[in-house]
Amino acid sequence: MAQMAMSHRTDEKRFDGRALLKFGLLAGLVVTYVATIGMVATFSRRELIAGVVTLGQVLLISPPLGIAYLTARKMAGESSGKILSAGAVIGLMTALPLIGLIILAMNTNIRTMFVNISPQLVNILTFGQDSVFVGVLILLVVLMLAGVAGAGLTLLPAHWRQTLVIGLATTLGIALMSELFVVILRERFGNNFVRLFFQSGVMRWYTAVGIFLITVGATIFWQRRGAQMRGRWQQFTAPRQKQVRWSGAGIGGVILLILPWVLGTFLSEVLDNVGLYILMGLGLNIAVGLAGLLDLGYVTNFAVGAYVTAVLTSTSQYGVGPIPFWLVIPIALLAAMFTGFMLALPVLRMRGDYLAIATLGFGEIIRVLVLSDWLAGRIGGPQGILEIQNPAIGSFAFSRPEHFYYIILVACLAMLFVSVRLNNSRTGRQWMALREDEDVAAAMGIDTILTKLLAFTLSAAAGGVAGAIFAAKLGTVFPQSFNLFVSINVLSIIIIGGMGSIPGIVLGAFLLIGAPELLREFQEYRLLIYGALLIVVMLRRPEGLWPSATRRRELQDAMDTGDMGVPHSEIISHHQTVEPPKMD
């Protein structure tokens, strides 16, 4: 037995060594892939800190740093020297594929097959050194240090590790959005003030240091005072807590009201786009997040709302307007709900992947219909509908992004109120029971057909309103605006933010819609980043970035019992049919 145990430990150590090599090569392949497709070169055009670091360099060091950190966490109990050495090995293995790529690019005409492997890429990988040998050594040292830093994070106390990560993430995040802050500060304080902290739209090094120190100080303060402040909050009486909440809501309301005039036209346009997706996300969350019905055809409701509004408010040859926008909004809402009801009827008995495929077909049906010659005489076909009238109150017309911000804000708040009320209602509990297990829900007396119909119908309402606002905002409607990616974007927001979570939808919309709008130079890599983000979230946080308490509890229970993805009815049936072993 002792020999077997010793052999097992030896194999385990040997496996650890092989695992380090595999993880290091995995990081190297990731970096080589993003370099080959041009991401490193494209991202290197964006400086984060003037003369210090670019976004491309951060992209280079992130894989070895992250993989070394995750690997070191699994080495809990090992000596610090062994952990740091593991990080260095991962960094070394990450560098090997890149060094091979540099040698290949220098000695062959590989660019005929991979156009992005250019002298510019080699210059980036060798940190602009005239000597390729010196540049390769610098690359090797940098990646090994990144691996050591990632592994070294696990050796820090938890509170210091959290503080350091928050400080670095905040600093790099603000540096990435430097152009946004430059625009805001220039409008308020002028160019001379901006030049103190930014150089040609890029954050200066001492600005970055200051932001890092302020963030670290604020994090330390919260860590030390947070428990005390939470204790004081619990000592407040219920009326006092309610008063504080209302005060906070009032402050938040004032900020929301003045926000577009502080940010300006461009950022108000970004906020409008984010708000429309928040509105659609709140609607789709009813079907997907609460009822568990995977709907990939949500763009259908969006298109119906937009085209109904266009036809009723346009003064072009395809319009019957001008009918006031405020009268059209309820018509578009009812039209979308009717569409959701009718499209739900054929799929009521479908589940899972079959339901997703069927609803995906609805999105394609609406795209084909609006492009067809059959409806071209009524809704314009590929030419679309023009001359859609702006909403107006008296003599005031909503024509600028700052104006439409308030319409979208009111629509989002109304949908938020409805979502909260539904979530806490008997209908909401029925949806959650349906999501957890349809068979058990039916056995409990829930009418699953009616419950599904209600989920699809109410979910469609928000899509119709979003489409109506979208049409009025643009003043034109074209079929190209209603493709599959609208549905994919809304679903991704819910999955990444947290299914069934209203704050998660807001967070997901800002991450997936707002951030790409601010970083348009990386638009070609948007879908790749979407996919990578979805994979990371599903592996590390399957419940989403900001999940609801119920959803988090369900997933945690499923992981604890090992029945992820298995309906409770099957588990119950299995336990009932398995007989206990007979005693001899």
For the chain, 584 residues long, give each residue's pLDDT as a single digit of tens: 444 444 444 444 444 678 888 888 889 998 999 999 889 998 998 899 998 899 999 999 999 999 999 888 888 778 888 899 999 999 999 999 999 999 988 888 888 888 888 888 999 999 888 888 999 999 999 999 999 999 999 999 988 999 999 999 999 989 988 888 888 888 778 888 888 999 888 999 999 999 999 999 998 888 777 667 766 666 667 777 677 778 878 888 888 888 888 888 888 999 999 999 999 999 999 999 888 888 888 999 999 999 999 999 988 777 787 889 999 999 999 999 999 999 888 888 888 788 888 888 888 888 888 888 888 878 888 888 888 888 988 888 898 899 999 999 999 999 999 988 988 888 888 988 888 888 888 888 888 889 999 999 999 999 999 999 999 999 889 888 888 889 989 998 998 888 888 889 999 999 889 888 877 777 788 778 878 877 888 787 888 888 877 767 766 666 555 555 444 433 333 333 334 434 43
Amino acid at 171: T
Q: Are 271 and 405 a contacting pair, CB within 8 Å?
A: yes
Q: How far apart are CA 455 and CA 384, in angstroms?
A: 31
Which stretches of 37-109 are DSSP H helices?
39-44, 55-73, 80-107
Reported residue count of the chain is 584
Q: How far apart are CA 446 and CA 457, in angstroms?
A: 18
Q: Which residue has the tokens 């509105």?
A: 279
Q: Which domains does the chain have, with CATH numbers?
A: 16-155 (no CATH), 161-235 (no CATH), 262-558 (1.10.3470)
Mark residue 204 as left, alpha or beta (left: phi above 0; alpha: psi -120 to 50; beta: remaining): beta
Query: What is the 8-class DSSP label of residue 525?
Result: G
End-to-end alpha-carbon separation of the chain, Å?
A: 30
How far from 564 is each of 324, 469, 559, CA to CA, in Å?
Answer: 51, 40, 6
Q: Which residue has the tokens 């392949």?
A: 29
Q: Are 356 and 293 a contacting pair, CB within 8 Å?
A: no
Nearest to 51 by CA among 143, 175, 170, 235: 175
Q: Are 221 and 167 a contacting pair, CB within 8 Å?
A: no
Q: What is the pLDDT of residue 539?
A: 80
Q: What is the pLDDT of residue 573?
A: 38
Computed on alpha carbons and rounded to an integer, the radius of gyration of the chain in Å comes to 28
Structure-token pair, residue 61? 């060091």
Helix, strand, coil content of the chain in percent (nearest 5): 75, 5, 20
Q: Which residue has the tokens 């229970």?
A: 557
Q: What is the pLDDT of residue 453?
A: 92
The β-bridge partners of 388 are 314
Q: How far apart are CA 468 and CA 306, in angstroms?
A: 4
Q: What is the pLDDT of residue 84?
A: 92
* Residue 259 CB coordination number (10 Å): 15
Q: What is the pLDDT of residue 15?
A: 41
Q: What is the pLDDT of residue 579?
A: 41
Burial classification of residue 505, based on how many CB atoms lie within 10 Å of its CB (0-12 exposed, 13-18 middle, 19 or more buried)? buried
Q: How far apart are CA 390 and CA 396, in angstroms?
A: 10
Query: What is the 8-class DSSP label of residue 38?
Result: T
Q: How far apart are CA 60 and CA 135, in angstroms?
A: 14
- The three state secondary structure string of 249-308 is HHHHHHHHHHHHHHHCHHHHHHHHHHHHHHHHHHHHHHHHHHCCCCCCCCHHHHHHHHHH
- Helix (H) / strand (E) element for 359: namely helix 352-371
Which stretches of 177-264 are DSSP H helices?
178-189, 191-197, 205-235, 238-263
Q: What is the pLDDT of residue 582?
A: 44
